[in-house]
Amino acid sequence: MSKLASLPGRAVLSVAGADRVSFLQGLVSNDVSLAAPGRAVWAALLTPQGKYLADFFVLSDGERLLLDCERAQAPMLAQKLSRFRLRAKVEVGETALAVSAAWDGAPELPPDAVAAPDPRLPEAGWRVLAGTAVVPDADESDYDRHRLLLGLPDGTRDCEPDRTVLLEAGFDELDGISWTKGCYMGQELTARTRYRGLLKRRLVPVSAAVSLPPPGTALSADGREVGTMRSSRETLGLAVLRLDHLHGALGFEGGTLQARVPDWMRLPEAKATP
């Protein structure tokens, strides 16, 4: 039986107008032309230097592109998108739509809902935008545990603005980047990171026998800092770890944790020791 949870920490922006697809296409990491009723796209807006600014799901009701984004980032995102409009025939604005997430099956929805499967993983579930109140049978903490088990990042809780590179946070494997659509802001660094194999750290799921520490807590091995804690819920979380410390116990004040590399994550092959 499917589970449905309201996500009050999310908001919905509207990008309307004749040029809405081409406008957003030149700015974000994924192919916006694929967004259609019943199909969502996950994408990120980057700095000109290729560092993370924000991420969001792009859904469509046939007349508008709807950006399911972090509520705290919605004003910044609307302002930045509006600044790039120039002569494009687009209008950017906030909506009154509420965001919910469903998993363990397709949900029953009100007639006005705009919904699509979460494009990152089949197990992730559905994204639901609705003006009519939905009746949840789970809460935000239940969804948080669900996405942490899968290793899915949650906006700025896991990605650091002006610092995170998309490939560190799984955007490649989780279908958050188009490598064929053409130029967008920050594309050069993203492509160079991929083709030159420049990654030294990854955002990975972690677990512990005790409650995990708060975001920003240093994680250590053999007396050296090798990672930083990001979001967590009780004993499940995500952490940014150096690639050479994804196996074995890592320490923090009050306990130890272990990385859980998910099946979907592609890691560079270890080089043979001469």
Q: Where are the domains of the chain?
A: 3-169, 200-259
How remote is the C-alpha of 269 from its chain's centroid?
A: 25
**Residues 4-57: pLDDT tens digits?**
999 999 999 999 999 999 999 999 999 999 999 999 999 999 999 999 999 999
pTM of the model: 0.94
Pick the closest to residue 36 from 25, 21, 51, 24 (CA basis).
21
C-alpha torsion sign, points 84, 87, 89, 94: positive
Superfamily of domain 200-259: Aminomethyltransferase beta-barrel domains (2.40.30.110)
Structure tokens at 144: 């948080």
Residue tagged 């996405």 (tokens): 147
User: What tens digit of pLDDT does each residue of 171-210 get?
Assistant: 999 999 999 998 999 999 899 888 887 789 999 999 999 9
Strand order of the β-sheet with 126-130 is 3-6, 98-103, 126-130, 114-117
CATH architecture of 3-169: 2-Layer Sandwich (3.30)
| Coil vs helix vs strand at 26 | coil
